[in-house]
Structure 1
Amino acid sequence: MNIKKTHLKNERNIKRNFLFVSRWGESLDIAYATLLEGNDVKMYIEDKPSKEIGYGFVAKVKDWAKHINWADIIVFDYTGYGQVCQDLRASGKIVFGGSEYTDKLELDRNFGHEELQKHKVKIIPSKEFQNFEDAINYIEKHPDSYVIKPCGEIQELKQLLFVGSDDEGKDVIRVLKAYEKSWGNNFGNFQLQKKVKGVEISVSAFFNGNEFLRPLNITFEHKKLFPKELGVSTGEMGSSMLWVKESPIFEATLKKFEKTLAKSDFVGHIDINCIVNGNGIYPLEFTSRFGFPQVFIQRTGINEPIGNMLYKIAKGENFTINAKKGFQIGVFIVVPPFPYNDKKTFDLFSKDSVVIFKKEVKEGIHPMHLKSINGEWLITGNTGIALMVSGTGLTMKDAQKVMYSKVANIIVNNSYYRTDIGDRWFDESDKLMSWGLL
């Protein structure tokens, strides 16, 4: 008898109590998958307009703190809970989630850049501003191409990020003046970052409290609303990815933070987004939590139960993640008013719209802002994000074909999605190979 295989089988069959603490309800897919794997699951959602998300999928709770003793593991899906995670871990609880340090890495861009410099990582020059007038004066004195990056919580409004194209920054000045009229003092702090041309790519890994686990994940995001990177910036419209044992980008960035993350009491998933070109690797920002939709697509490429994997990571186990070869890809199916916040439009066009499957095939279909009534999936919340659809294949074209065939099986009234997710790979992979970065 193979004792190791028997142990793994028994480990997978253990039923555990999972408590998911969610900011916006984004981790519903992970919570639901964990339930289907045979575990008991409870979910708390902090955001009031999102409270209905997950109803009918998993058990919902109004006060997560009352269920701490019930839980074998507590999973936090967002930044801002870092101190809570540390306190719970100090009390002996098994927790998958951030730390005060990693919260600050993501939410405070200036701090993130200072830490990159401290860890001897090359960064793109940037400057933080508290008001629009100072930023406009700075551009006029230092004409160049810039990117506007909001800081703090407002950075979640991805449509406010603006990538300039004018070499003298005139387009950025026009946008800043528009923001000043529409937002005034409510905009908060923001960065002006010099624009660097190249390939945008992210590298991420799961961290067990002591070290990074292999394989690493390489992701290509598609942030614009329309194909060919046209339209407004959204949180994201879809991603393509692959798993790798090693990465020069990882070695130049995240790897340098391994000891610091261990000291900070971090246990979870961390991603660093970069612009790379023939001259080097330039980190843009940290995501020190699950990436959305990154984690759903990652789940498509992982050959073990996601709940069991999260538990092992949170316990501090050192193991190799059983990931598929080839590529994974995912696309959001959205409805009005996405990517904007307009309750009237949402209520008129999208609230309680039914997700219909021509054939009852739900593998690779990830529920997002949905509730389940008598087995039917209905859109709820207020953002208009209905589903994430994923596919996998040995080649990118195979993965695209699988994913879009699943999309064709779904009917959602007034829905829209990108038709070119994954296309970036065919051009950008050649560049990355020539630069020795892939």
Structure 2
Amino acid sequence: MRILGIGECNDLAAMHAGFVRRGHEVKVFVEDPASHDVHAGLVERVDDWQRELDWVREAGEDGLVLFESAVKGELQDQLRRDGFQVIGGCALGDRLEGDRAFGQQVLRDAGLRTAACHAFTAYEDAMRFVREHPARYVLKFNGANSARTRNFVGEMEDGSDVLAMLGLLAARRRDEGVVDFILMEHLDGVEVGVGAFFNGEAFLQPAVLDFEHKRFFPGELGELTGEMGTIVSYQGARRLFDAVLAPIAPLLREGGYVGYVNVNLIANEQGLWPLEFTSRFGYPGYAICEALHAESWEAIFRRMLRRDGRRFATHDGFACGVVLTVPPFPYAYGYEELGKGMPIMLRPSVTPRDRMRLHFAEVAYVDGQLVTAGSTGYVGVATGIGTTVQEANENALRVARGVVVPNLRYRRDIGERVARSDLARLQSLGWYDSATSLRTHPHPAMA
């Protein structure tokens, strides 16, 4: 295949590198200058994606344009109208993720209940609201590219900590333009995501469950990073898929969506409470899902584009992903001094199979040495698989321990809460049943 990747930070670098290893032609356009060195020496980067369109078109059915983010949907729609094969999303997908109020309305229209959600464009208005309606809230900024570290999950039942945070943001505000955020009612329960690939007409099966771990430190302490690790499984997702994703298929079809879509939600005794859309590949979710794929990405993509089947082969069990970082992750400032350019080494114990379970992100190959690159210190993700969550975690940590980088950090507890309580509670609520999973292949060897 000929694959042209378009994105801001080369977040799909590990996927592109896999295409290259399997003999495909790959070129990548990276918009952010701070990320131009991501996978330098590993994948070819181009400065003008438009000049490469003829190169893609010449490949016919083997030509693909692949988007990594949920901010260029209109461009994707236009390329499809121009006859190109595109996977990523669409303008509708951008709005589903970036405009949280719209996403919540879509889910309400699909028959789901949603938490009370209040939109604001001024900190002072939000502060007045919290004073008048004291409660526990979650502060989330709109926009698919908004920094997850700016979001804040309130702990105080009267909302006083959220009120204080809003006051700080108002005092520190500079020339950032119009702010755009929501205050969402806080909900208790099992946080779980359900996702699937949509081919423009219908969803492919099976769907996947994911349990994200967003905080920087074990025990869910510290900054909201976006993601420090995740447990995924293609078992037992059918009930959540039928309730959450299946009802929005007509809307996605009308919008011309082609790509992966996920809804994160809370499940409790009162029902399902959807929180937000991810209308793109999740990071590092796509790499963790790959550990359970019995087919390559290009095989799955061909099936989506040609619409010649609505299933792809997966393995039983669970996959665990552990995100590897160096300082100052999850922040960007100070990276040049603290973490950029650090040598990345692999212990002799790392096997070829282990190496395939290492999905490097912000790295480059310089003078024969793999080094940290990019803008934040996101080194990559180590994955492991197992018949249980615990086994998947152990295998992921074994792979992670094989990576040697100065000041490398990662969480060791990815999946502990899932194994201890989340899966059992989700099953007791009627939303998980591994006995009815869509299994197609036996579990791969753990060696």
Any gaps of 5 or more consecutive residues in structure 2? 57-62, 433-447
Q: Say whether the 8 Å CA contact 1:86–1:99 is kept in structure 2.
A: yes
Query: Of the candidates 62, 72, 75, which is equivalent to residue 47 of structure 2?
Result: 62
Contact 1:198/1:277 (CA < 8 Å) preserved in 2? yes
Q: Deviations over 1:230-284 (max 9, x none)?
A: 1111111010110036422222211110011011011000000001101100000
Question: Which residue of the other structure, out of 389, 405, 408, is the alignment partner of 1:415?
Answer: 408
The separation in 1 between residues aligned to 2:237 and 2:214, in whole angstroms, is: 26
Tell me how far 1:348 sits from its aligned partner: 1.5
Residue in 2 that maps onto 1:398: 391
Structure 1 unaligned segments of length 5 or more: list them: 1-15
Residues 379 and 429 of structure 1, relative CA distance in 2, 3 Å threshold: same
Question: What are the equivalent positions in structure 2 for 1:8-157 lying under 5 Å apart?
Answer: 16-71=1-56, 72-152=63-143, 155=146, 157=147
Shift of 1:433: 1.0
Contact 1:34 1:305 in 2 (8 A): no
| TM-score for the superposition, normalised by structure 1 | 0.93
The answer for the alignment partner of 1:434 in structure 2 is 428
Pairwise CA distance, 1:182: 2.0
- Structure-2 separation of matches of 1:101 and 1:142: 33
Task: Return the letter of the residue paired with 1:358.
Answer: R
1:347 aligns with 2:336: yes
The reply to whether residue 240 of structure 1 matches residue 240 of structure 2 is: no
Q: Alignment length, in residue pairs? A: 420
**Matched position secondary structure for 1:228:** coil
The aligned residue for residue 300 of structure 1 is 291
* Aligned with 2:346 (options 353, 357, 361): 357
In the alignment, the residues of structure 1 paired with residue 250 and residue 319 of structure 2 have an alpha-carbon distance, to the nearest angstrom, of 30
Superposed counterparts of 1:196-275, under 5 Å: 196-244=187-235, 246-275=237-266
291, 303, 317: which one aligns with 1:326: 317
Q: Equivalent of 1:181, from 150, 171, 182?
A: 171
Q: Distance in 1 between matches of 2:358 and 2:155?
A: 37
Q: Secondary structure at the match of 1:307?
A: helix
Residue by residue over 1:284-336, the C-alpha shift from the partner in whole angstroms, topping out at 9 and shown as x without a partner, is 00000000010010111111111232232133332311111000010111011
1:201–1:218: 8 Å Cα contact kept in structure 2? yes
Is 1:161 the counterpart of 2:151? The answer is yes
Runs of 4+ in 1 over 4 A off after TM superposition: none
User: What is the Cα deviation at residue 30 of structure 1?
Assistant: 0.5
Amino acid at match of 1:48: P
Is residue 19–residue 73 contact of structure 1 (8 Å, CA) maintained in 2? yes
Q: Distance in 1 between matches of 2:26 and 2:316?
A: 30
Aligned to 1:366: 359
Aligned to 1:12: none
Query: Does the aligned pair in 2 maintain the 1:349–1:414 contact within 8 Å?
Result: no
TM-score after normalising by structure 2: 0.91
Q: Letter of the 1:61 partner, please give it.
A: V
Shift of residue 388 of structure 1? 0.8
CA distance in 2, matches of 1:88, 1:130: 33
Contact 1:248–1:437 under 8 Å retained in 2: yes
Counterpart secondary structure, 2:54: coil
- How high is the sequence identity, in percent, across the aligned residues? 30
Q: What is the RMSD of the two structures over their aligned residues, measured on CA atoms?
A: 1.4
Q: In the TM superposition, what is the alpha-carbon distance from 1:43 to its structure 2 partner?
A: 0.9
8 A contact 2:6–2:65 mirrored in 1: yes
> What amino acid does structure 2 have at the position aligned with 1:348?
E
Cα displacement (A) at 1:163 = 0.9
Task: Report the equivalent of 1:8.
Answer: none
- 2:296 is matched by which residue type in structure 1? P
Is the CA contact 2:235–2:317 (under 8 Å) kept in the aligned structure 1? no
